[in-house]
A = this chain, B = another copy of it.
Amino acid sequence: MTKLYLISTGPGDADLIAPRSVKAIGECSDLVAYGLYLDLLGSVCDGKTHHDLPLGEEIGRARLALDLAASGKTTALISSGDIGIYAMATLVFELLDMQLQGKENHPEWLDVDIEVVPGISAMQAGSARIGAMLGHDFCTISLSDLLTPWQTIEKRLHSCGEGDFVVSFYNPRSKKRDWQINTARDILLQYRPANTPVLLGRQLTREDESITITTLDKLDAADVDMFTLVSVGNSETRHIENGDKEWVYTPRGYSKKL
């Protein structure tokens, strides 16, 4: 039985990588990942064959991982954050599905044993760094319209507004996409107050981390890049200050019972 691990390495801090991820990597001979991610992992990657592909080559990376595993090499496909959330895991299953439908010509992929190892996603790291922003019902929306029609994304933004969900935006901006985050802001402003707390978390839990707490009306694409998590509170999210410390949390409503 050949084996493919789909492994999460969390938001950045090595202390937030689950032991299961490190152990699984230890069993592998071949790693498919950005070099950047491997630096976080340290010595467990020593002596293993490292396969990299240019940014944007997601399908190629998933194919390569399946091919390596099918050839008998115990292989890890590695993503930062949670590999199951806007990351590589779904691509591997999409390729398997194509094969099962006869739209690919790689029957050997079907013999690969797959294990997915979850991890801490950026929204969780961001929420924790400033308090408990995800304390009540929330959603995630990717603002990338490369694969999803903008019409679908816009519909979800309105649903998020109507449902008053806390929302975390993944892929808020790239070099080629700069207007989506401002449009998302304008849609949400139809549903919740201008002073709704917003988190801009850049390079969360890494050495060059920066955290900005602002308000929905001041959210602007100029302050966001592809390394930024943007989370917007719901209509009840509170931004509190205690001396020089500040916190953002979304209440579940216990204070009504206090």
Contact = CB atoms under 8 A, between A and B. Distances in A.
Given A13-B20, A84-B132, 15 more contacts: A84-B133, A85-B134, A90-B132, A90-B249, A93-B247, A94-B252, A97-B251, A110-B242, A110-B243, A114-B247, A116-B128, A118-B127, A138-B139, A152-B164, A155-B162
A138 B127 CA distance: 17
A86 B135 contact: yes
A160 to B, nearest CB: 7
Interface in A16-41: 16-20, 23
Contacts of A256: 147
Nearest to A157: B163
Interface residues of A, number: 82
B250 A90 contact: yes
B163 A156 contact: yes
Interface of A: 6, 10, 13-20, 23, 58-59, 82, 84-86, 89-94, 96-98, 100, 103-104, 110, 114, 116-121, 124-125, 127-129, 131-142, 147-148, 152, 155-156, 158-160, 162-165, 238, 240-243, 247, 249-258
